[in-house]
Structure 1
Amino acid sequence: MIDNEPLTSAIFSDMVFLFGNKHYGEHLGYIVTRCPDCRDDRIFSVDQRREKLTVYFVPTVQYRAKQYMTCQGCGKSLEIADKLKEEIAGRLMTETELKKVLGEIAGEHRSLMAVCQACSQPVERGMRFCPSCGHPLS
């Protein structure tokens, strides 16, 4: 007996398409700016997250790219608006540059403030643990 279904539907009835999406992340650098939650100048980690459509586990089409900055003090994550990306990119520092700047600031104010050796956040003298990261203070 001959099946009267079109040839294309017969072909597609035996095919399986595996598709989904995959998230990619990339660390871009650091900036120092005022945190809206902490209401203080804080270090922010700047990251980019991209999502790609995948077919057969192979990334094919990027359909979303967003940049975020995360306060290293309170953990607040903020999406960076497209119009601010260029300004933020101009202010980015590597971890080495950030440590140098923080070291210079700490050197200028060493008599006024102590700094956590682990996260470089200011701490009050006499504290046993850093309130930002919990690292023991010497």
Structure 2
Amino acid sequence: MPTTHAAGTFEVKLAPQAVTFEESGLGRLSIDKVFQGDLQATSKGEMLAHRTAVQGSAGYVAMERVDGTLNGRAGTFVLQHSGTMNRGVQQLALTVVPDSATGELEGLSGSMKIIIEGGQHSYEFEYELRAES
């Protein structure tokens, strides 16, 4: 399967949500995104995060359902996020949940990179579309 590259920008809105266990130190946020570029889509998701007492150290996990077109193919898929910041050094993995894609995106796999520069969010998405058997 050949790997395909997609790139563009996105706008994101994070909104704090109620947390069931306040003493846990966890924060819960809703995610709303609008993607432009090779991915023309909207997404909705949920994030669970924790910021430590040490400046620049935190972690988060999230699930995000994307609905739109990827290089002209329509459908949905789910992205799984796992992010850690260790005293300002960021490590982030965004991967397509296996077998989560629908429509013309069925068989989608891949990973996305998020870039934040000057307050602007952009993405680079390396993906493969498995051919139907």
Query: The TM-score by the shorter chain falls in which range?
Result: under 0.3
More strand by share: 2
Q: Which has the higher contact order (CA 8 A, sep 6+)?
A: 2
More helix by share: 1
